[in-house]
Amino acid sequence: MSLFSPLALPNGAIVPNRIAKAAMEENMADNDHAPSTELLSLYRAWAKGGAGLIITGNVMVDARAMTGPGGVVLEDDRYLERFNAWAAVGRSHGAQMWMQINHPGRQMPAALGQETLAPSAISLDIGALSRQFPMPRAMTVADIADVEDRFVRTALLAERAGFTGVEIHAAHGYLVSQFLSPLSNRRTDRWGGSLENRARLLLDIVSAVRAAVAPGFVVAVKLNSADFQRGGFSPDDARSVVAMLGALGVDMVELSGGSYEAPAMMGSARDERTLAREAYFLEFARDILSVAAMPLMVTGGIRRREVAEHVVDSGIAMAGIATGLAIEPDLPRNWQRGLQGVPQLRPITWKNKPLAASAHMAAVKYQLVRLSRQRRTAPGVFPGWALVLSQAKAKCRTRQYRRWMDARRALSGA
């Protein structure tokens, strides 16, 4: 199968080629936490670059629950025209444009000043950085129902705005992933204990979204192939959940891995043997193929055309690329022209894995900011410098966010 062959999804939607721009955390919302002019400029670069599928960075289903300051929120239709412009830019060169929708659960910075929710009252354990995340409150039945409703509402709004699909984020240690993991989910009710119970939130969200949107609108899921933590969500669990999703009309499952506690999605985790190469979740995906009723996508470390081709030749429907497209947005078109670029950031060899993951994310965001300003990327940026800049900007945006939330509360009389 060619990397540039179209892919027909179960609902009939067509992805024009097998290269996906995977989600990255941009933190480029405007002052209303809607898509900014800079964000549209960034996605215009990716649309021109030739990826068949463009998946947005996190769009939050609840303004009170953010993965970080400067994030985009879609709760109602007040700023829907800005989302319409975002979707139009992403689709302007023929790509599918999916909105990734998410709730962070306990992975919300304490500096944002909001109450954090989680399946159970278990805090993050990331060493000295743990204090940056508050102890969460265990969710009530009403909290769970509210989250389900919010995912459905955001999916419907995405459809109205002109996106061609949504990707429900159930990976990387965010809320839905927290329910799936026995390390973060110690509940004794119908959402805890057995895998079937721990998967209930994901399955209920998927079922409700699929029932609410049009048949031609894509419903995808991002799922961990593993948590890479002893006693956590395992590859066998992932196989079982993918099998469960098969009966629910899911059009694609993207396989990744890790969380803030074990940042495998950054290419660094406790299982270095498995993750020390490009396409480092591929062997997990091949194990899951036999039970998957839908196409699979693998994201993680892909930088070279031959690696992306190997992914597709292995039976995986799509190769997801994040960092590579942050450095070189024209990578798909260049590959199609026969060019063999290998985009790569300056290596990070720090022993502190969570801090190294933060530096990696900062170096990626540094590229995104440059692209949004229509400047050349700078992959040689020193990770420490990028991290300092990112942290300074985050402090400023955190203050803005807290003022924004105070104004919302004042308006609502809460």
Is residue 245 over pLDDT 90?
yes
Read off the amino acid at residue 48.
K
Position 174 scores a pLDDT of 96
Is residue 242 over pLDDT 60?
yes
In the chain, the percentage of residues whose pLDDT exceeds 90 is: 82
Q: Which CATH superfamily is domain 7-412 in?
A: Aldolase class I (3.20.20.70)
**226 vs 301, which has greater pLDDT?**
301
For residue 170, list its beta bridge partners: 223
Position 29 scores a pLDDT of 98
> Which has the closest alpha carbon to 301: 344, 365, 258?
344
The most confident of 27-41, 124-138, 224-238, by mean pLDDT: 27-41
Give the Cα separation of 202 and 317 in Å (integer).
22
> Which has the closest alpha carbon to 205: 288, 284, 103?
103
Position 340 scores a pLDDT of 83
Tens of pLDDT along 357-389?
Answer: 889 999 999 999 999 999 999 999 999 999 999
> Which has the closest alpha carbon to 262: 65, 125, 118, 103?
125
Tens of pLDDT along 293-347?
Answer: 999 999 888 999 999 999 999 999 999 999 999 999 999 999 999 998 789 999 9
Position 258 scores a pLDDT of 73
Is residue 233 over pLDDT 70?
yes
Give the Cα separation of 304 and 340 in Å (integer).
7
Position 265 scores a pLDDT of 56
Tens of pLDDT along 170-205?
Answer: 999 999 999 999 999 999 999 999 999 999 999 999
**231 vs 371, which has greater pLDDT?**
371
266 confidence band (pLDDT: 50, 70, 90): low
In the chain, the percentage of residues whose pLDDT exceeds 70 is: 95
Give the Cα separation of 274 and 283 in Å (integer).
8
Position 98 scores a pLDDT of 98
260 confidence band (pLDDT: 50, 70, 90): confident
**CA 328, 363, 73, 10 torsion: positive or negative?**
positive
Lowest mean pLDDT among 124-138, 183-197, 389-403: 124-138
Tens of pLDDT along 33-88?
Answer: 999 999 999 999 999 999 999 999 999 999 999 999 999 999 999 999 999 999 99
> Which has the closest alpha carbon to 401: 390, 393, 413, 389?
393
Question: β-pairing, 59-60 with 72-73?
Answer: parallel
For residue 175, give both structure tokens.
């809320």
Give the Cα separation of 83 and 43 in Å (integer).
12
Is residue 413 over pLDDT 80?
no
Position 275 scores a pLDDT of 35
3-state SS of the chain is CCCCCCEECCCCCEECCCEEECCCCCCCECCCCCECHHHHHHHHHHHHHCCCEEECCCEECCCCCCCCCCCEECCCCCCHHHHHHHHHHHHCCCCEEEEEEECCCCCCCHHHCCCCEECCCCCCCCHHHHHHCCCCEECCHHHHHHHHHHHHHHHHHHHHHCCCEEEEEECCCCHHHHHHCCCCCCCCCCCCCCHHHHCHHHHHHHHHHHHHCCCCCEEEEEEECCCCCCCCCCHHHHHHHHHHHHHHCCCEEEEECCCCCCCHHHCCCCCHHHHCCCCCCHHHHHHHHHHCCCCEEEECCCCCHHHHHHHHHCCCCEEEECHHHHHCCCHHHHHHCCCCCCCCCCCCCCCCHHHHHHHHHHHHHHHHHHHHCCCCCCCCCCHHHHHHHHHHHHHHHHHHHHHHHHHHHHHHCC
Backbone φ and ψ of 322, nearest 5°: -115, -80
Tens of pLDDT along 338-361?
Answer: 998 789 999 998 988 878 888 999
Average pLDDT of the segment spanning 119-148: 94
